[in-house]
Structure 1
């Protein structure tokens, strides 16, 4: 279970960030100073661009492997960050494609005597498991210095285990956004909703105009957990959210029944889902996005729920963010709109000067600024210039994230043991896929969720 230090405990905190995000999507202009160009040599270090905040050692001849589950543009953009590390240090870095669940992938590599030097872990639960298995190595003094300079306490804490720092949260996500096809909304006369009731009204208007309202990535279990978490956080409140995240209340609790019943108002409408329930269960996340923004004003669906990283997939279509593809905060189901965050942390598995240097680089604004400029990425690093993000939508989301400080709730399934919250075909992912297939069986879904949660939390796996 996650420690209490990893999330902020006040209802006011969630309210504050929800208000910030709502304002963030108004697309007003914002600016911040950028970094300087050119390079200079610092004594005792490698190549350091002028204006850089971090000094790295010379690592000529060193070789590193970095494992992550990232694919497509996300992987390509991260490789550009690694290329900059190579340029500055003289080390060579190989990206190792990993599979979900990454802990199982790493276990196989370690058993074979070939662990990567650094792994990007998408769950706090995975960090805890890596520490418990004695795979993870603590961060050294230089990485800790960068982390403390550039991150709020909350983002530092979720990378800690038993008070010791193991993770650098290189990537963040705002998982409380719904993206929509602007032409479809305009043709339907639909307005951006602020409440769940408004969302249902907008969905009906879209449906009446001849377009299916929602694209749901049911083939991938994790987007379904994110749907649930937003509804649950807004409806049940942050205290209940924290209790369920730590399995201090059961999944058979009435608050879970209420959230699933609410979800069924959309998931239970076959004509509201692109391809119906069966089609949704065959739709992987990238396709859920692209089918919303291809086909002009007659796409397969008008709306798709997921985080700021949706922009990577929108970029694969001809749609432009801010004009063709617009976004609104996940509507309030209860009294307050939800704000759920996620992220990926760099964790050292083979302690060496080179691995520590890479962790230090990833904790610096330099690394995050490179990827921010490429789009489809959000950093919790508060010293990344907001102007580095390539469009007004992303700039405002980033500004709101940094302004929130510690006022966020971390993805619930990512806090859970990997066997429950992070394994394809098992646990919460599978149980919510089954619920999407049969949204009328709320009690059955609750029973399955509780059985799998009890087993995973009991074993800690």
Structure 2
């Protein structure tokens, strides 16, 4: 399973779609992207899927009772406690997916939402009060919990015949730690997408870049025209900063390839290495000195909620022309754009 080989322009009701920035970022207002940075490696592997997809996963924690009981009518009953990050439209979608299960089993779902999932999860486990099920925490935290025996392997808990019939082997393997199935991926959002408003581009005569060099030229052109190329929003409560880490991760992957990327998240690649320093320098070129290329500058970046970060795209005149965020951001766009 590979990303598109080259730029793909798709017209979707007045918004365009592009293909992939640094073999990680992509472009659009429904999206698209160019090739990245000088020296970008050509190798791609299934391992790359774990970086370009931010997938929602379900993890069953090491608890023996989920508070269930037999009830009349053959329904199980009881309550399952779930810890996750979803609110608003994402939570509504989760509820809709779970409704057939709750209707058929009589099991109630008690859902706790937090943006600080790693910290809250570990605190609950340490206190002996873990949720029954959790959305997957950061990969480092998940590996630590799995190796400490704090999560329940799913290999003998699921109908593997049904699982293999409905899931590709690569998706199943992504959920394994030390050969045991720990996580089951339920949905995925494509990361590294650069959103733009085709109408705003057209009004200024801007062309969608197909290469990193063209992106840098477009950025300079927007600045020379008196505009701000980017909107960047990093605020996310206790998890603030992750949109910035996405930027850097996408650039590392694009510039230095999968081996360096994997060594980095596994703690084998030093933050002071040439490759990691190069990625931060590249992101600095995007932001500009003191955030000069970003609408509102550094203060706007750190104080604006990630979901509101794209609002500048829809202003008239545009307050910014590009916004790097995952495919899930459309649910936030819907909240502040005309229908």
TM-score normalized with structure 2 length:
0.73
Offset, 1:148? 2.1
| Residue equivalent to 1:279 | 300
Contact 2:82 2:109 in 1 (8 A): yes
The alpha-carbon distance between structure 1 residues 290 and 149, as it changes in their structure 2 partners (threshold 3 A), is farther
Match of 2:233 among 191, 195, 217: 217
Look up the match of 1:26.
10
Question: Which has the larger helix fraction?
Answer: 1
| Structure 1 residue 125 displacement after superposition | 2.4
Q: Tell me, yes or no, if the aligned pair for 1:187 and 1:209 is still in contact at 8 Å.
A: no
- Of residues 262, 278, 287, the one that matches 1:258 is 278
Asked if structure 2 preserves the Cα contact closer than 8 Å seen for 1:289 and 1:314, the reply is yes
Q: Note the C-alpha offset of 1:179.
A: 0.4
- How far off is 1:68 after superposition? 0.1
Q: Distance in 2 between matches of 1:74 and 1:272?
A: 31
1:105 aligns with 2:124: no
The match for 2:27 is none
Contiguous gaps of at least 5 residues in structure 1:
1-12, 30-56, 321-461
Cα gap change, 1:247/1:240 in structure 2, threshold over 3 Å: closer, same or farther? same
For 1:124 and 1:156, how far apart are their aligned partners in 2? 15
Equivalence map 1:18-417=2 (5 Å): 18-19=4-5, 22-23=7-8, 25-27=9-11, 59-100=75-116, 102-139=117-154, 140-219=156-235, 220-269=240-289, 270-293=291-314, 295=315, 297-318=316-337
SS of structure 2 residue aligned to 1:142: coil
Q: Find the aligned partners of 1:189 and 1:58 in 2 and give their Cα distance.
A: 65
Distance 1:27 1:246 in 2: 39
CA RMSD of aligned residues (A): 2.5
Q: 1:224 to 1:163 in 2, by over 3 A?
A: same
Q: Flag structure 2 segments of 5+ consecutive residues without an equivalent.
A: 14-72
Q: CA offsets per residue over residues 157-192 of structure 1, 9 Å max, x none?
A: 221121111110112121121001222211121111
Cα pair 1:79 1:95 within 8 Å, conserved: no
- Alpha-carbon distance in structure 2 between the residues aligned to 1:151 and 1:197: 39
* Aligned residue pairs, count: 274
Change (3 A) 1:292 1:146: farther
**What secondary structure does 2:109 align onto?**
strand
Q: Spell out, residue by residue over 1:96-116, the C-alpha distance to the aligned partner (whole angstroms, 9 max, x if none).
A: 11341x232123323444322
Q: In 1, Cα distance between the equivalents of 2:276 and 2:131?
A: 39
Aligned-residue offset at 1:201: 2.0
SS in 2 for 1:82: helix
8 Å CA contact 1:103–1:126 kept in 2: the answer is yes
In structure 2, the CA distance between the partners of 1:59 and 1:164, relative to structure 1 (3 Å rule), is: farther
8 A Cα contact 2:78 2:108, kept in partner: yes
CA contact (8 A) 2:201 2:207 kept: yes
CA contact 2:151–2:182 (8 Å) conserved in 1: yes
- 1:59-86 per-residue CA deviation (whole Å, 9 max, x = no partner) reads 4322111110122211222122222221
Answer 1 or 2: higher relative contact order, Cα 8 Å, separation at least 6: 1
Per mean C-alpha deviation after superposition, the further-off stretch among 135-144 and 74-83 is 135-144
**1:292–1:302 contact (8 Å) kept in structure 2:** yes
Distance 1:289 1:143, change over 3 A: farther
Aligned partners of 2:190 and 2:327 also within 8 Å = yes
- 1:202-223 deviations in Å (ceiling 9; x for gaps): 2233334443210112333111
Aligned residue for 1:205, secondary structure, equals helix
